[in-house]
Structure 1
Amino acid sequence: MLSLKLILILGVILKGLECDDSINPHEYYDMIPSFEMNFKINLRWYYEDCYFIPLNTHDIIHAIVHVISGGDNTIDFSIFDPNKQLIESKPKSPFSWYDNSDIQIPGDYKICIRNLEHHEKKVYINFVSFSKTEITEKKNEAKNLNETHSYMSERLGAINDNIHSVRRSQILQRMIHSSDQYFIEANNEYVMYYSIIQGFVIILSGVIQTYFIKKLFEGPKQIKPRA
């Protein structure tokens, strides 16, 4: 019976979260409570028990009180804001819950339960609060991480492109250098062969010129008389 009613209450709470644009109901279970109380007590007859929960502006609070056994299974439930103003009251109630997804007045909220019967009652209590500021900060941190990751990916992509450009330039320079080297080697070989041939031509020309000059300066041959 307790579980079914708590499920219904949690359904109401989650339904309220859906109306809050700043909170995604699917992220509700991932939130870390900034304050939580979850226990059972035996509330003596004609006795009031109060609890104080510190809340900041825009915080979220959920309070659930259920009478498990004792007498008529009802208690008085009330909540006071930091200015001691009554903001919630449920007299003679077997189940009481309160949820506020946008606290406007920061401070200590006072939650009281009263047993006005001559019977001790066993009561289940659950108080939970969440800090919207912390949730927003976590979202901003995640967003900043995503932006940083995107920026780093973009920069790494640009660096990678620059590296490819440098590699292409290096390859092109090596190709040009190799081509020039082959051209120089081919020219050197051509110059060497041309020099050898030219040397032979010069030597041959010198020999021929020497021969004809020698012939030019030779006198006529004398004819000896016959005896």
Structure 2
Amino acid sequence: MNATIETLLNHRSIRKFTEKPLSQEQIETIVQSAQMASTSSFIQAYTIIGVKDPSKKTKLAALAGNQSYVEKNGHFFVFCADLHRHQVAGAMENTDVGESIESTEKFLVAAVDASLAAQNAVIAAESMGLGICYIGGIRNNVKEVGELLNLPEYVVPIFGLAVGEPAHESSPKPRLPLSHVYHEEEYNRDETAFKKDLDEYNETISAYYEKRTSGKRKDRWTEQIAGMLAEPKRLHMKGYLEEKGFLKR
């Protein structure tokens, strides 16, 4: 096992940071690492916005559901799906690219590109001893976040990333069994084996929560997920994406 694998296997979310700001060198290293992620057809359809302004962080924290670690961290990044520059590129070449960049496919490409870049950024940050936490909560009030960040047409905030020096220790959360997420040749549709894997995982997760909370919590994974999915959330996203020029085709 090498240092890269150890970093990957040791991942955990950090939700309490010291307020020591990242250096400019750290920020640039993280962004440059993100840029080296794979990108579909070299399209590079994302933008990363760094937020240092304390008042803007406070506003983002409120918009993201009052998560304190959005406000208090070493640096806050917002990863955006971005096809605005591609619209500009088309205009520079006197080529109409509207039908393409307004398609569902190109939005998926942009969202995937942003996600791949972000994971590279995470690995870079963690390799430097920093902690991270992804923030999907910025989509709670996505229109207001977009206005706060002055995002043009064809640019949508996908998630935030809080980065900084960890102020507490945290243990990795057990993932689903390998046999449950890795299938060979075709999808394994054996429902008996499927449910057996989930039953075993439920026991693992319940024990993890019970130990972590000194018995205050011991919910099972399927219980947690069913509860979360029982009520649809962020149904405003479709309208916002269409408003920003996406999903027209």
TM-score range, shorter chain: under 0.3
Which protein has the larger Cα radius of gyration, Structure 1 or Structure 2?
A: 1
* TM-score, length of structure 2 as denominator length: 0.17
* TM-score, length of structure 1 as denominator length: 0.18
Higher strand share: 1
